[in-house]
Amino acid sequence: MSTASREIQLAARPHGEPKPTDFRLAEVELPDPGPGELLVRNTFMSVDPYMRGRMNDTKSYVPPFQLDRPLDGGAVGEVVVSNAEGLAPGDVVLHQLGWRDHAVLPGAHTRKVEADGLSESAFLGVLGMPGLTAYVGLLDIAGLREGDVVFVSGAAGAVGSLVGQIARLRGNTVIGSAGSPEKVAHLVDDLGFDAAFNYKDGPVAGQLAAAAPDGIDVYFDNVGGEHLEAALGALNRNGRVALCGAISVYNATEPPAGIRNLALAIGKRLTLRGFIVSDHFDRLPALHAEIGPALRDGRVTFRETIVEGLDQAPQAFIDLLRGGNVGKMLVKL
């Protein structure tokens, strides 16, 4: 008794910005779960900027997606059939087989989550990979210290909005940049950022200098490019940069213009450090211990942009790369 499911496949490798025709919705039959396996009905799936890199046929830190095969990525779902010890129908699990309605996979490749009053979607966002990215990048990679002035780009996104809130929780000053007046207002009014600006309003360097007249000590980089140059200019001596993402160049079809002022790192004694969240899953308990309570008592909040239906997932991903989300971008299945 196989199960009918639907999945999104990669129909063509995008050139520059992805188009709807780069994706294909396919109807498939799933085999019954074997020993140790589960059948899961997915309830939410994540679209994330890093997936753009996997659509290119280039060597990277994760293997590329294959043409005519389903995409994958973070998802939560409900167990329908379980042949896995410790998991029963009705349990909610986090796993990596998103971009599909149903998944058959080993129970060992899932993690059971206890929502405990929170939406299960939180485990794809603030308590999941984006949250851990923010936590590790700010605390471990950039080494946040008392008194640091923190600047984060992509600040209204899933990662950036938590970077800012963790820094505020720790008593640091936080400046964010985002791409619309609504996002800027959200940062200051809802998330408690000390200052924020719309990078489309003018050169980033000038806006950052106005927002941080005494310079910055930490830059959490989600975008690269002009933002990174501006941050290098604004960083104080012994400043630190967590290199997390470069969304500004993910769709680039030509080599980007380049960072022209990296030599400032010498005289300013700057440290720039790249990282990948999957190296740091050991920090997940610390994230949950610090941010879980802050979420439940309202000191940390998060927004989600939720799109309905698997058929809308490609457009949700395209919109994400255009900045069409506030907070975590999700597809409800």
Between CA 209 and CA 139 the distance in angstroms is 24
Q: Which of 266, 282, 289, 297 binds a second copy (CB under 8 A)?
A: 266
Question: Which CB atom, from 71 or from 136, has the smaller least distance to a second copy?
Answer: 136
Between CA 259 and CA 232 the distance in angstroms is 9
Residues 56-95 that bind a second copy (CB under 8 A): 60-61
Stretch that binds a second copy, among 2-10, 112-120, 274-282, 299-307 (CB under 8 A): 274-282
Tokens, residue 204: 């980033």
Question: Which CB atom, from 256 or from 293, has the smaller least distance to a second copy?
Answer: 256
Between CA 276 and CA 162 the distance in angstroms is 17
Q: Which of 13, 41, 273, 332 binds a second copy (CB under 8 A)?
A: 273
Tokens, residue 154: 């992509």
Question: Which CB atom, from 162 or from 270, has the smaller least distance to a second copy?
Answer: 270
List residues bridging with 149 in a β-sheet: 173
**Does the protein bind a second copy through residue 270 (CB under 8 A)?**
yes
The owner of tokens 């610090």 is: 290
Q: Which of 180, 271, 312, 315 binds a second copy (CB under 8 A)?
A: 271
Distance (Å) of CA 109 to CA 6, 68, 105, 278: 21, 23, 7, 14
Residues 205-264 that bind a second copy (CB under 8 A): 224, 228, 243-246, 249, 255-264
Which are the contacts of 317, defined by CB distance < 8 A and separation ≥ 6?
18, 47, 51, 329
Give min distance, CB of 327 to a second copy, in A: 22
CA angle, 121 then 122 then 123, to 5°: 85
Question: Which CB atom, from 87 or from 270, has the smaller least distance to a second copy?
Answer: 270
Q: Which of 274, 288, 294, 301 binds a second copy (CB under 8 A)?
A: 274
Q: What is the DSSP letter of 31?
A: P
The owner of tokens 């002022």 is: 261
Termini Cα distance of the chain? 23
**Does the protein bind a second copy through residue 267 (CB under 8 A)?**
yes
Give min distance, CB of 276 to a second copy, in A: 6
Question: Which CB atom, from 80 or from 249, has the smaller least distance to a second copy?
Answer: 249
Residues at the site binding a second copy, with contacts judged by CB under 8 A: 60-61, 224, 228, 243-246, 249, 255-276, 279
